[in-house]
Amino acid sequence: MAFGTKDKNECLSYRLEGSPISQTAADGSDGGIGDWGHEYVKHLAGEIGAEFNRRQMEPVEPVDPPTRSSSATDDELMHLVRLIVPFHILHNAEPDAVDLLIEVDQLATLPGYIDSKNCERTGLYLLSIASYLSEPDDDVALAAAYTIYRKCGKHQDAMRVALKRNAGDDVVSTFVDTKDAVERKQLCYLLARHGYWLDFEDGPAAVCFEDGGDSAEPLREALQGAISNARLSENYLSLARDLDVMEPKAAEDVYKSHLVEGGGRSASGSAAADSAQQNLAATYVNAFVNAGFGQDKLMLPASSSGGGENGEAEAADAAAPQVQWIYKNKEHGKTSAAGSIGMLLMWDVEGGLPQIDKYLYSTESHVIAGALLAVGMINANVRNECDPAYALLYDSVDRSKDLHVRTAAMLGLGIAYAGCRKEEVSSLLAPIISGEGDADDGTGAEEPLEVQAYAALALGMVFVSTCDEECTQAIISALMAKSATIVEAAAAEEDTAMAAEGANGDGNNSNTATPATTPSETKAKELAHDPMLHLLSLGLGLLFLNCGSKYDATMEILKTMLHPTLASYVTTVLEVCAYAGSGNVLMIQKLLTLCGEHPEEAPAAEGRDNDDEDRPKDKLAFPAHQPLAVLGLSLVGMSEDIGSEMLLRSFEHLLQYGEPCVRKAIPLAVALLCVSQPKVGIVDMLSRLSHDTDPEVAQNAIFALGIASAGTNNARVANILRQLSGYYYKDPSALFMVRIAQGLAHMGKGLLTLSPHHSDRLLISNVALSGLLVVLFAGLDMSSTLLSRKHHVLLYVLSTAMNPRMLMTLDGGEAGKELSAEEAAEVCALNKPLPISARVGEAVDVVAQAGKPKTVTGFQTHVTPVLLNTLDRAELGTDEYEPVTGVLEGFVLVKKVKGDDDLAAKKKE
C-alpha cells in the first residue's frame, strides 16, 4: 500500500486475483477481508471508489497497460463492497461504510446493514453529509436516514428527517407507525413548532383513532390540542411568571432616552413629541416588546378587578388610554394601533377575540382594518376547533369594502392560517388574483395590483411549500395579464413607428432618431421595480419554498409567457425560494454571477442630483432582480455554517465593488443568515453600515440589527441603537427604523425568537421563514413599503415567525409502563410542567466521533423552564427522568425512570 504505483490500484488487483468472487461466494465467507487490518480495508475501499469514478467518466479513460482491477466486472467490485461494508459497520467505522456506498452509488442499500446498535451514529452522519451532496444525492442520503430511523423504531428522529425532506406521506406514515400515545404527543409538539398541520378527524392521520372506538376520542382531543398549540399562551405566560418578567414595559423603557447624549432631544427629533411617525414607532415598539403578554401600558392596561360602580369606573379609566392612543395616530397609523392589540394578545384565542370585537364595528375603516389584522395575529400558529378567524375575516374581502380593509383582511387570513393548507382560503382568494369570477357581481373584474399582491401573499403563506396547482395558476394568470399590457404597448409603439416612417416618405426619415429606451421598455422596468409586483411574485415563490426542482414546469411557463424584464425577476424569486436552505452550490454560483453584473447605462455616481425626479431614473437603470439575488444567497445558504461564513466574505467584496442596488440588500442578507444570533462580527459589520453615506444602506443596516438581535435583549446591540437614535435624531426615516430595531431587539422581553431554525438547527420552519421573507422583501424597497404611508403593517407578518425560545419539561408518566387507552388519554391531556435540572451550553459537533462524547460544552445547570439561545443545546441533568425525544427544545415530555427500589419491589411481586 505504501509503495504502490499511483492510479494503478495494485491493492485491488491483488485482492481480485488472490480471492476470486466465485470462491468467496461459494463458501459464504468474507474471504478474510479483515485479516490484513483496518488500514488495508480502508485502502481497498478507496481504490474501489477510484475505479468506479474512472468508469463513470465520459469518455472512460483507458488504463495502459490493462490491470486486473481495470478489467474486473461491476459484479466483482460490488461483491467486494458487500464484504467491506459489514466489516466497517462491525468495527464502528460507519462513516467509512457510508462513504464507500456513496462512491459506488449504492447508498440506498445501507439500511440493510444497520441495526439498533449503530443506527444513531449512522443516521447522524447521513444528516450531516446531506448538506454537502449535490442534487439528487442529498435526498438519497436523507431517505436512507429516514429508513434507518423508522426501521429501528426511532420515530422522533424519523419525523425530523421526513419534515426536512418535506415528504408529507412520510410524515403521516411515521405518525401512524408510532403506537405509544406519549410519543405521539411529542410528535405533535414537533409538528406544531414546524408549522405542519395534521387533521386527526378527516385527514389521513385519522386512521390512528379508528380502532379505538369511544375511548379514542379523548386521546384524539388531547393530541389535537398539542398540534394546535392550544396551550401555547398558557405555557408562555407560565414561563414569564417563572422568570418574573410579567411587568409591562413602555416604549420609553426600551428607548432609555436619558442615556443618549443630549438627553431627551433625540426622542422626538426636530418634530413635536407627539408626531405621527413617532407615535407609529411607539405603537410597533410597544407591540413587539409586550408580544403575547396580554397587557401593556399603552393599549391594554391591567383592568381593575373590583366590583360595583367603583370597579366599573376604574375599568373605564383603565381602558381610556387604549382609545386615546388609537386616535393619536393618523389614518393608517390607526390601523397599526388597533392591530397591535392582536400582537399583545397573540395565541390567546378565547381571551383575545372578545377584546377585539368592538373595533370590528367601528365607524372608521382604518380601525376596522387594524381589528382584522389583530384577528389574524391572535390566531397565528394556533388552531381553534371553532375556526373563528375565517368567520370574522372572509366577509371583509368583498369588493364592496374599502381597499385597506380588504388588504388587511387578506393579510389577516395569511397570518392566521399560515401553513394550514385551508381550501376555503384558496377558493376565496384565487379568483381575486386571477380575475376569474362572476361577471354579474363584479368579482370577475381585474383587481388593483395592490389587492392582487396581498391576496397572493396570503395564498403563499397559507399554502407554503405545497406547490398547489390552483394557487399557482391564479398567480401566473395575474402575472401574464400584467405582461400582456406591456406587449400591447410595444405593439402599439411599433405600429406608430411604422406609420411615422410611411408618412415621412422615402429619404425623409434620416433625421429620425431611435430612442435608447422605448416607453414600453420603461413601463416594463417600472413594473419590475414595483414593490407590489414583488409581493405578488413572492406569493408564487412561497408556494415552492424549499421544494427543490419541483418548480421546473412553472419556470418554463414563466420564461415563455412573460415579458423578459418581468420573467427575469419572477424566475429569480422562484429559484431562490425553491432552494431555500439547501446550500446548493450551483444556485449560489448563479446568484453570485447576477450580483456581479454591471448595467451598461449605470447612472454616474458623481454630480448626481438627489431630486425626486432623478431618483426613479437611477432606480430603473439597475435590474430589479439584482438585490433579490443578494437576498437569495443568504436564503439558499442559511442552513449550513461553512457556507454562511463564505457568504459573509462574498458580501464584503460586493460592498466594495457592487452596484448601489446590490449594496442596499447586503444588510438584509446578513440579517437573514443570523436571525436572532447577534454574533460579534455580524454586529460590527452592521454597525459600520448603519453610518453609510447611502441612506438606503444605512436604513437597512439599522433594521438588520433588529432582525439579528430579535428577542435576545443583547446589551451591545441595545447600546448601538441608542447611539444611533442620537445620531439620526434629525432624520425621521432613519429614527423610525432605529425604534423598530429597538423593539425587535427587546421582543417579548427576551423570551421570543424569530429564528426559523429548530430541532437542533436541522429543520427550517417554512411558516416562520415565509414571515421573515415578506418583511425582508419589503425592506428591499424600504421607502415604498415599511417607510411608506400604509404598507408598514407588513411588519406584523413577523408574528408567524415568533416562537418562545425555551425548554419546558412536561410530565409524560412512567417509563416502561403500558397504558390503557383511558390512561394514555389522561396522561396526554395533562399539561403539568415538571421542574427538572438541565444543562444548557454551546452545542458540540459529535458527528463521527468515537464513543459517547459530550454534546454540550461550557454549560450551566438550570431548572426548567429555561431559555435557550439559537446556538444552545440542552440535556437533562438528572437520571430520574428520560426524555421522549433526543432534542430538548420547546415542549419536551419526560418519563420517570424506575429506581432500584421500584425494580426490587417488582421482582418480589
Domain boundary among 746, 775, 803: 803
Q: Are residues 816 and 799 both part of a single domain?
A: no
Average pLDDT in the 627-640 region? 93
d(CA 248, CA 822): 42
**Nearest residue to 122 (alpha-carbon basis) of 147, 98, 90, 91:** 98
Residue 701 belongs to domain with CATH number: 1.25.10.10
**Rounded distance between C-alpha atoms, residue 821 and residue 178, angstroms:** 14
Q: List, for residues 131-179, the tens digit of each pLDDT value.
A: 888 888 999 999 999 999 999 999 999 999 999 999 989 999 999 999 8
Q: State the total domains in the chain.
A: 4
Where is average pLDDT lowest: 231-235, 681-685, 748-752, 818-822?
Answer: 818-822
- Residue 841's nearest CA partner among 878, 866, 811 is 866
| Residue environment code for 105-126, b if the CB has 16+ CB neighbours within 10 A, otherwise e | eebeebbebbeeebbbbbbbbb
Asked, for residue 344, whether it belongs to a domain, the answer is yes
Please check whether residue 892 is in contact with residue 191, taking contact to mean a CB–CB distance below 8 angstroms: no
Q: How far apart are the C-alpha atoms of 71 and 7, rounded to whole Å?
A: 14
On whether both 676 and 784 belong to a single domain, the answer is: yes
Are 815 and 798 in the same domain?
no
CB 755 within 8 A of CB 870: yes
Over residues 403-428, the mean pLDDT reads 94
The grid coordinates listed for 173 are 406514515
Residue 698 lies in a domain: yes
Residue 458 burial by CB count (10 A; 0-12/13-18/19+): exposed, middle or buried? buried
Phi/psi-derived region of residue 161, left when phi > 0, alpha when psi is between -120 and 50, beta in every other case? alpha
pLDDT at 508 over 70: no
DSSP state of 549: G
Find cell 418634530 and name the residue.
Answer: 271
DSSP code per residue over 209-237: GSSSGGGHHHHHHHHHHHHTTTTHHHHHH
* Furthest CA-CA distance within the chain: 116
- Same domain? For 834 and 772 the reply is no
**281 part of a folded domain:** yes
Q: Are 697 and 689 in contact (CB under 8 A)?
A: yes
Whether the predicted pLDDT of 743 surpasses 90: yes
- Sort 561 into a burial class: Cβ within 10 Å, 0-12 / 13-18 / 19+: middle
Q: How confident is the model at residue 790 (pLDDT cuts 50, 70, 90)?
A: confident
184-193, 750-759, 852-861: range with lowest mean pLDDT: 852-861
Task: Give pTM, 2 decimals.
Answer: 0.90
Q: How many CA atoms lie within 13 A of 97 on its CB side?
A: 27
Give yes or no: residues 848 and 765 share one domain: no
Which of the residue ranges 575-584, 608-617, 721-730 would you say has the lowest mean pLDDT?
A: 608-617
Three-state SS at 345: coil
Among residues 889, 872, 584, 870, the alpha carbon closest in space to that of 709 is found at: 870
Residues 113, 126 contacting (CB under 8 angstroms): no
Structural domain ending residue among the three candidates 153, 172, 191: 153
What is the rounded distance in angstroms from the CA atom of residue 708 to the CA atom of residue 716?
12
Least trusted range by pLDDT, from 209-218, 683-692, 845-854: 209-218
Whether residues 797 and 815 share a domain: the answer is no
Question: For the ranges 235-249, 492-506, 540-554, which has the lowest average pLDDT?
Answer: 492-506
Q: Is residue 79 part of a domain?
A: yes
Question: CA distances (Å), 455 to each of 425, 452, 673, in order?
Answer: 10, 5, 28
Alpha-carbon distance 575 to 549, whole Å? Answer: 9
Cell of 656: 466594495
| Final residue in a domain of this structure, among 130, 153, 176 | 153
Q: Give the pLDDT of residue 49.
A: 87
363 and 293 housed in the same domain: yes
Burial profile 269-291: b = 16 or more Cβ within 10 angstroms, e = fewer: beeeeeebbbbbbbbbbbbbbbb
In sequence order, the β-bridge partners of residue 814 are: 896
The whole-number average pLDDT for the span 645-652 is 93
44 and 114, same structural domain?
yes
Q: Compute how many other C-beta atoms are within 10 angstroms of the C-beta atom of residue 848.
A: 15
Question: Is residue 490 very low, low, confident or very high in pLDDT (cuts 50, 70, 90)?
Answer: low
Residue 26 counted as domain residue = no
In a domain? residue 693? yes
Place of cell 461491476: 74
Give the whole-angstrom CA distance, residue 92 versus residue 96: 9
- Residue 310 domain-assigned? no
pLDDT in the model for residue 59: 64
List pLDDT tens digits, range 49-100.
Answer: 888 888 877 566 666 666 776 777 888 888 889 999 999 999 889 999 999 9
Checking if the pLDDT of 359 tops 80, the result is yes
Determine how β-strand 806-814 pairs with β-strand 890-896.
Answer: parallel
pLDDT digits (tens, 9 = 90+) for 12-46: 888 888 766 655 555 555 667 878 888 888 988 88
DSSP classification of residue 866 = E
Q: Is 837 helix (H, G, I), strand (E, B) or coil?
A: strand
Distance CA 384, CA 391 (A): 12
In a domain, residue 555? The reply is no
Pair (714, 830) in one structural domain: no
Mean per-residue pLDDT, 435-464: 79
755 with 793, same domain: the answer is: yes
Q: What is the mean pLDDT of residues 660-679?
A: 94
Q: Is 530 helix (H, G, I), strand (E, B) or coil?
A: coil
Q: In the prediction, which pLDDT does 77 show?
A: 86
Residue 368 has pLDDT above 80, yes or no: yes
Pairing of strands 872-876, 837-843: antiparallel
- The whole domain housing 857 covers 806-907
* pLDDT value of residue 274: 45
Q: Are 353 and 246 part of one and the same domain?
A: yes
Separation between Cα atoms, residue 574 and residue 850, nearest integer Å: 42
863's enclosing H/E stretch is strand 856-863
Which residues, including other chains, have CB under 8 Å from residue 281's CB and lie 6 or more apart?
A: 251, 735, 736, 739, 740
- Note whether 745 and 810 are same-domain residues: no
- Mean of pLDDT values over 285-313: 71
Residue 860: alpha-carbon gap to chain centroid: 29
